Structure 1
Amino acid sequence: MEDSSSPNHSSSSPMELCQAALQLVCWREPRKSLAAFVSSLTVLVAMATLSVISVVSYLLLACLCVTITFRSQLDRDISVSPESAQQLAERCRNRLNWLSVQTRRLLLVEDLVDSLKMAAIMWLMTYVGALFNGVTILILADVVFFTAPPIYQKKKTQIDRQLVLLRSKLEKVLLRLQDRLPGAVRRSKAE
């Protein structure tokens, strides 16, 4: 049995993967970010124009053409350590428990105002779904994912100021809405 602390062991923790993704979208290393952005956008546009089977086949074929030159990497250990698997399973369990509690709270109308907010968002999403298909939304999300962080870093003060104004207007609208609801469903001041 191989020691998991050996130098050949190369499992990445979920936190390291999140840090690497954050480095990509914040363009800390522009070449890597550009490569990730162009490749993800290419895959999404290909999926919008070709069948999924064709896209997957072309990707695997391209991957095989590139990786055939790296046969020396066959000796490298890429197994997942028990500690990493247990840590990932624990985080997934915690997130699933939180999601189930929130889903129950919203769907069984524990708080009428929050359930009404969810209903309004879902109603708006029906219009988004009518305008765009899933791949188009993924393409737009990919572009926003890679362009929003650098724009925010450059225009942070202006964006923060606008967000504060938007939040205050939204809170005023929500307060007016809550005042119009019957007394039994209003939130208490203690919350």
Structure 2
Amino acid sequence: MDNQIPRAWKEHVVDLLYWRDVKTTGVVFGAALFLLLSLSVCSIISVCSYVGLALLSVTITFRIYKGILQAVQKSDEGHPFKAYLTQNVTLSEDLVHKYSDVALTHLNCTLKELRRLFLVEDLVDSLKFAVLMWILTYVGALFNGLTLLILGLIAVFSTPIIYEKHQAQIDHYLALARNQIKDIFGKIQAKVPGMKPKAE
């Protein structure tokens, strides 16, 4: 059962990102984008409060409407959200332990990799990391974290479908770019003393 939950969840995420159900993906993408754009204008406390008030307004209005409708029609339908109120929303301890163990494994791997890069275990990898950090200083000067999150969200929901439609052309250009980068790093490794390729 535990193995089926992540697989079903992954399939659902893939369906969302590839726009298999346009209505569902549109709602998720629109809500997430609206939330991030709201955070760029208001504080997170204000955004959470407004979202909570909006949800409460909808549910309270619907509850009162159904109550009045039941009184007028003299029906005995009961609480309109009864089906949702009886659903189990608690997280099992096994599920929490499973995902916390996965998160801990990833965190430990990240910490080991950062230690390796910052303490220059491999000079080439540390130089690549330094170049990445240098590029990120320019990215940080142009965009703040929230703008990057908005751009990332748009990329996550647009890149898979674009790649699916134009896979052959994108793979061709990616291979060309990868070869160019390998050639550049090969030339740098050949010219700088102490930077021999790992194969040697």
The bucket for the TM-score relative to the shorter chain is: 0.7 to 0.9
Q: Call closer, same or farther: CA 1:67–1:171 in 2, change over 3 Å.
A: farther
Match of 2:81 among 67, 71, 86: 71
Is there any run of 5+ residues in structure 2 with no aligned partner, and where?
64-79
Taking the TM superposition and a 5 Å limit, the aligned residue runs for 1:7-156 are 13-68=5-60, 69=63, 71-72=81-82, 73-156=84-167
Moved more, 28-37 or 15-24: 15-24
In the TM superposition, residue 64 of structure 1 has moved relative to its aligned partner by 2.3
Is there any run of 5+ residues in structure 1 with no aligned partner, and where?
6-11
Task: Quote the Cα distance in structure 2 between the aligned partners of 1:32 and 1:16.
Answer: 16
Match of 1:185 in 2: 195
Q: TM-score, normalised by structure 1?
A: 0.85
Do the aligned partners of 1:13 and 1:84 also contact (CA within 8 Å) in 2?
A: no
Match of 2:181 among 152, 170, 175: 170
Task: Quote the Cα distance in structure 1 between the aligned partners of 2:25 and 2:90.
Answer: 27
| One-letter identity of the residue aligned with 1:62 | A
In the TM superposition, residue 121 of structure 1 has moved relative to its aligned partner by 0.7
CA RMSD in angstroms, aligned pairs only: 2.0
Task: Quote the Cα distance in structure 2 between the aligned partners of 1:83 and 1:54.
Answer: 35
Task: Quote the Cα distance in structure 2 between the aligned partners of 1:56 and 1:19.
Answer: 29
Task: Quote the Cα distance in structure 1 between the aligned partners of 2:107 and 2:43.
Answer: 32
Match of 1:8 in 2: none
In the TM superposition, residue 86 of structure 1 has moved relative to its aligned partner by 2.2
Q: Identity of counterpart residues, as a percentage?
A: 36
Do the aligned partners of 1:106 and 1:115 also contact (CA within 8 Å) in 2?
A: yes
Deviations 1:13-60 (A, max 9, x none): 445433322221111111111111111111111111223222111111
Task: Quote the Cα distance in structure 1 between the aligned partners of 2:167 and 2:31.
Answer: 28
Aligned residues: 179
Deviations 1:83-141 (A, max 9, x none): 21221122112212211211111111111111111111111111111111121111111
Do the aligned partners of 1:14 and 1:88 also contact (CA within 8 Å) in 2?
A: no
Q: Call closer, same or farther: CA 1:188–1:156 in 2, change over 3 Å.
A: closer
